[in-house]
């Protein structure tokens, strides 16, 4: 009787781990690391052959010291860069944030369509609506954080869960 009970517990644990893994893959819930909370991470589907895609998320800092998003990497893109967006002489300009993105204590920063965002360049394959893609955020203080970005439809202006 004992081996069956142990087997059942092992099976149950494996099922819970798998369920937790798929919940993470679906972008469920915020991720907390140190004083930072990363939430509402998402991207948009791309047509085959598209060279780039945007990544969007919110980073909140509940600490007493600032932190800085210094880099982003993703296995589905050759390069990932945090971009700022600004209007200059009536033209929208996009620039790499070479110093990274600062998140002040007690503040939240939202990367969103039409604003600051992550640019995934040199896509290795098209991003598919309804699937999630992994990325790694690297912060000066909090270190590396693995996230999952659910993929919304092409042209979406909000995360997939918000458009349902």
pLDDT tens for the chain, 164 residues: list them.
444 444 433 333 333 333 333 333 334 579 999 999 999 999 999 999 999 999 999 999 999 999 999 999 999 999 999 999 888 888 888 898 989 999 999 999 999 999 999 999 999 999 999 999 999 999 999 999 999 999 999 999 999 976 55
Residue at 110 is within a domain = yes
The CATH number of whichever domain residue 92 belongs to comes to 2.60.40.1890
Residues 31, 114 contacting (CB under 8 angstroms): no
Residue 160 resides in a domain: no
| pTM to 2 decimal places | 0.80
In a domain, 162, yes or no: no
- Which pLDDT score, from 0 to 100, does residue 88 have? 85
Question: How many domains in the chain?
Answer: 1
> In the Cβ-directed half-sphere of 142, how many Cα atoms lie within 13 Å?
29
| 93 domain residue, yes or no | yes
Whether 87 is covered by a domain: the verdict is yes
| β-strands 101-103, 67-73 pairing | antiparallel
**Three-class SS state of 131:** coil
Q: Is 32 helix (H, G, I), strand (E, B) or coil?
A: strand
Q: Is residue 40 part of a domain?
A: yes
Q: Is residue 22 part of a domain?
A: yes
Residue 28 lies in a domain: yes
Alpha-carbon distance of 115 to 160, in angstroms, equals 18
- pLDDT of amino acid 77: 98
Q: Is 137 helix (H, G, I), strand (E, B) or coil?
A: strand
What's the domain range around 142?
Answer: 2-155
């Amino acid at each position: 009787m004992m081996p069956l009970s142990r087997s059942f517990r092992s099976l149950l644990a494996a099922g819970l781990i798998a369920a937790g893994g798929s919940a993470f893959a679906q972008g469920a819930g915020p991720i907390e690391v140190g004083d930072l909370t990363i939430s509402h991470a998402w991207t948009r589907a791309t047509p085959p052959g598209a060279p780039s895609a945007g990544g969007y998320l919110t980073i909140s800092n509940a600490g007493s010291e600032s932190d800085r998003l210094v880099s982003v990497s993703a296995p589905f893109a050759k390069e990932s860069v945090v971009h700022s967006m600004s209007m200059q002489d009536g033209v929208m300009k996009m620039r790499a944030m070479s110093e990274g993105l600062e998140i002040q204590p007690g503040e939240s920063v939202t990367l969103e369509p039409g604003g600051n965002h992550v640019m995934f360049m040199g896509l290795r394959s098209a991003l598919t609506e309804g699937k999630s893609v992994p990325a790694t955020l690297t912060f000066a203080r909090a270190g590396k954080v693995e996230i999952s970005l659910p993929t919304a439809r092409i042209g979406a202006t909000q995360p997939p869960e918000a458009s349902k």
